Chain A
Amino acid sequence: MTLPFGNSLESLVTDALEGFARAHPDTVEHVREHGFLTARHSAPARRVGLVSGGGSGHEPLHVGFVGAGMLDAACPGRIFSSPHNRQVFEASRAVAREDGVVHLVKNYTGDRINFGIAAERLAHEQLPCSTVLIDDDVASDSAEIAAGRRGTGATVLVEKLLGAAADTGLGRQELAELGADLVGRSRTLSVASAAHTAPATGLPAFTLREDELEYGVGIHGERSGRTVQRGTADELVREMTETLVRALGLRRGASVVLLVNGLGAATRLELYAALRDVTRVLDAHGVATERALAGDYVTALDMRGFSVTLLEADGATLDLYDAPAHTPAWSR
């Protein structure tokens, strides 16, 4: 086993899923036969089931956000691999409400295809399904990347906000439109000082010198960004924040939700310090940081790095953010 604390690469995800269900028995149910988790409690007012999923290795995403006020089901694939369409299909059937389901899908080819196949199968069963595609990563925003921007840190915010909106009884179409709108108002940029351990080899997925950073790294270690010299932390955060402010076209007087997200092996101290630096840059731009959080939400195994996500927020968005949620990884 190349990861020191797992029994085997084959069993790691299912072992962890079972452990996760044992740790949170009041919140989630583990449907072993099809390999997904469902929420034990979900608002009766919901008319649509919210289903997400994706490769494992990004914990607490997505399983940690199953529960009241967020996801109705999550389908974990193998490490960094899309879930099988069958998991998504069965999970969707399990949690569909009167107006069907909404799939929350990070923009990766495998995820899109497998969620897409599941959606076609649901259509054959007269189960309506809409999809919210999450593509917030600025580093992959290039005309040369046909697959488009990747889905990264904003995923957790979209899951939270759409969950709250679903709890108000919004229909599928309205949720899908709100989801697309939220994604359009979100951008993320990630940086790493050291790669994650590649599960297949037990070695770092890529190597950096001590004075280097991978700027614009993906949550699977994709190196489409650039390798830069490490400067001071506040210079780094300034560049990241200003890139995001530009990408979103934020003007003086705008408001944002800020997420400083650890990629697996960054310390909380560094994350909170980075959060402080981001807010200083936003202050200087006249952008109000209405809500902010720091922690590991969308990780890349044990990558030593962090991402910054900004989501432009109006009053209605903040109400959704503040709505109660009770899940293993989000309770406030």
Chain B
Amino acid sequence: MDDSGSFAEQWMRRFAASVSATEPELTALDQEAGDGDFGTNLDAGLKAALSALEPAPAGGTAAGGLDAAGATGGGGSPGTAGGSGDAGSTGGARDAGEAREAREARDAGDAGDDVPALRAVATAFLDEVGGTSGPLFGLLLQDLAQAAEEAGHRLTVPALARGARAGLAAIQRVGEAVPGDKTLVDGLAPACEALASAEESVGPANALAVAADAAWQGVRSTADLRARRGRASYVGERASGVPDPGAVGIGLLFASAGGTVTSLAPYLEASGSGGGPGGG
């Protein structure tokens, strides 16, 4: 996978690769708990988003030279677009510790801008994806994009924490689910807590890794829950022992910041991935 583009763009590309690689496992999970379209829906949404992203911040290809000159970036981000149209700035900021420096870079057109990729994926999930879970992921990404925009177009650790918390709140307003209802909230809520307690200095990649661990732990706990909301609530006991696919998607999202996830199995077993006490 090429490693040009903003931190968020790389994250979203890896998320897409993870979803694509684990789509059969996601589908199998969803067939037990829901109607089996979750994996394909996510996959289709991400493909649509990323193809929409290609032409805009053209940085997709390796060389990384003249990136995304104009302010005509993707995603139709409202309001703030107008920055100084300084073409070709080659901000490579994407790693830990560079958050502060990154925040100073306010040029909406620069290659380190985390907003366009997040907005593109958010809009694709909200506009193009059927079912319920896909658009709910869109709400989370919409709030991450918003928080990044407010942090100088950089997905800093505080921006991640703020965006994830706002996304969780939006998802809960819409779906009226609380932790324990066996929905994606069971993955997202612990991830939000982990992000909230992460130090800014560790950088977004490390903060997301910690969030991923927390999310997977939440995911494993859903296996023993009986669904009270969402699709899985209709099948009741039949879905016990199976983790909630939406929550698994949240685990995949956060884990993908550190690399492509090629199999769910290590994360769904209680001792997987540096895994904490697990769900029993």
Contact = CB atoms under 8 A, between A and B. Distances in A.
A116 B142 contact: no
A114 B175 CA distance: 10
A124 interface: yes
B229 to A, nearest CB: 9
B78 interface: yes
Interface in B170-206: 170, 173-175
A113 interface: yes
A113 B174 contact: yes
Contacts of A89: 126
A151 B253 CA distance: 36
B130 A84 contact: yes
B51 to A, nearest CB: 18
Contacts of B126: 85-86, 89, 117, 121
A271 B127 CA distance: 42
Interface in B117-172: 126-127, 130, 132, 135-136, 138-139, 142, 146, 170
B132 A86 contact: no
Contacts, number: 34
A125 B175 CA distance: 21
Nearest to B78: A125
A141 interface: no
Chain A contact residues (Cβ within 8 angstroms of B): what range? Answer: 10 to 19
A120 B173 contact: yes
B136 A117 contact: yes
B78 A117 contact: no
A110 B126 CA distance: 15
Interface residues of B, number: 16
B135 A124 contact: no
A109 to B, nearest CB: 9
Interface string A88-126: 010000000000000000000010111011011100110
Interface in A137-152: 146
A85 B173 CA distance: 15
A86 B174 contact: no
Contacts of A85: 126, 135
Contacts of A86: 126-127
Nearest to A81: B130
Contact of B142 (A84, A110, A119, A121): A121
A96 to B, nearest CB: 14
Contacts of A121: 126, 139, 142
A120 B132 contact: no
A5 to B, nearest CB: 27
A86 B138 CA distance: 12
Which of A86, A113, A119, A120: most chain B Cβ within 10 A? A120
B124 to A, nearest CB: 11
Nearest to A121: B126
A89 B78 CA distance: 15
Contacts of B78: 125
B143 to A, nearest CB: 8
A113 B170 contact: no
A110 B170 CA distance: 16
A36 B223 CA distance: 40
B135 A117 contact: yes
A89 B76 CA distance: 15
A120 B136 CA distance: 10
Nearest to B142: A124
B139 A120 contact: yes
Contacts of B130: 84
Given A124-B142, A124-B146, A125-B78, A116 B127 contact: no
Contacts of A124: 142, 146
B146 A116 contact: no
A113 B173 CA distance: 9
A114 B130 CA distance: 10
Which of B135, B136, B142: most chain A Cβ within 10 A? B135
Contacts of B146: 124
Given A85-B126, A86-B127, A120 B175 contact: no
B132 A116 contact: no
A93 to B, nearest CB: 11
A114 B173 CA distance: 12
A90 to B, nearest CB: 9
Contacts of B127: 86
A42 B137 CA distance: 36
Contact of B173 (A84, A116, A125, A146): A116
A89 B138 CA distance: 14
A235 to B, nearest CB: 36
9 contacts: A86-B127, A113-B132, A113-B175, A117-B135, A119-B174, A120-B173, A120-B174, A124-B142, A146-B228
Ordered nearest first, which 3 A-B pairs have the shortest CB separation?
A116-B174, A120-B170, A86-B127
